[in-house]
Amino acid sequence: MTSVTENTKDKGQEDPIRCIFFSEFHHIVGPMITCQVPDNFISKDIFDTVSVYIIPKAKLQRSTITVTLKDYKILGFPVKIDDKKYARNAFYFNLCFVCDAEARTVHYEPVVKKMSDFLMALEEENCFLSASEDKTRLAEMLQQVMHDLNLHKMCTLTEGTMTSHLKVIKLAPEPKPVLDHQVPIFLEGRETFQTDQWDLTTQQVLPYIDGFNHVARIAAEADVENNLVKSCVQNLIYYGVVTLIPIFQYSNVYAATPKLRELAENTKLQERCITYTSKFPRQPAYLRDIYRMYASMTHGSSMRDLCQRLNPQNLRINERRLVQFGLIEGFIRRVYKEHIVLMKFAAVQVNQLRNLKILLNAIQMLLCYGNNI
């Protein structure tokens, strides 16, 4: 993939397609736009400045090319058809998508390539692109593609006996690095997917993912090298199989979020919550007790304080799974203590606080490895 960038920074946004244009190499005029929707979105002046990348040299043919300008990002897949029937023994064209300069366009690359191959097949069959200067039908196709992809993320093109199905596959962002003290937990039941679809290392790790074991413990119990476990977990996060939650400790402090109101309104969510958090399946907990425990989670009150006050065992509530479900659904969040340096502190005191934070992080890591020594 070739990229030419001017004054921009890709922020990973997935904005809609702003324009689709078809350009070709005219044997007299040179590179030119012969069809675009909407009309005149890309001016001749702008096109002339980047035409060398839109209709490039032979070595860049059939390569995904992204040209980023100040306001727009142009994504194309230049094609060359060799045939003596053309004026210069070849027909050059490029179908391009135009998005905002800061938009993420990598998910459009397969679509641009597939549509270019479709147009190439039409040209080879009946000179669909070069036989006439009237590009009315092509403009209709470009309009349909832009509308359907922006609205439905898929489009079906039919011309004569040929059909092409286009679909935008949304790419998930790269997961953040996995740390030793983080706890992977399944987003759905383990039984909802086949373990044999994963590599051997992941299959060895999966049985130890229970929502309580942190990464370091999983590595020790599965007898798998620590970095391999992290890679496996990161891969599972990418495919939406697991997510990461903090280690459960009774000294942890949790706080309810505004999302808790969904539990009071969504009947199916209530049923899932009761099933997940009840200590005994045949004697499920009451929703009012579960809700009261979530609502009682606040700053300054540890999980130990909450359990002593409300006694979840008598309420038939598994407090550990209660926290798990709350973190996964976003009903609660863990409250962390952060040290703030005041300006009046001397440099020595600032360094002491910095060293204290390093010490606290080390203690947290020791908690991970404590049971594995």
pLDDT tens for residues 86-121? 888 889 999 999 999 888 888 899 999 999 999 999
What does the DSSP 8-state code read for residue 278?
B
Q: Which domains does the chain possess?
A: 19-167 (3.30.450), 182-233 (no CATH), 253-335 (no CATH)
Q: Can you give the pLDDT at residue 27?
A: 83
Q: What is the pLDDT of residue 366?
A: 58
Residues of the chain under the 50 pLDDT cut: 1-13, 371-373
State the pLDDT at residue 352. Answer: 60
Per-residue pLDDT at 351: 59
Looking at residue 61, its pLDDT comes to: 86
> Which pLDDT does position 362 carry in this prediction?
60
pLDDT of residue 329: 94
In a 13 Å sphere around the CA of 40, the CA atoms on its Cβ side amount to 0
User: What confidence score (pLDDT) does residue 119 get?
Assistant: 93
The pTM assigned to this predicted structure is 0.58
Using CB atoms within 10 A of its CB, is residue 364 exposed (0-12), middle (13-18) or buried (19+)?
middle
Nearest C-alpha neighbor of 237 from the set 203, 304, 186, 285: 186
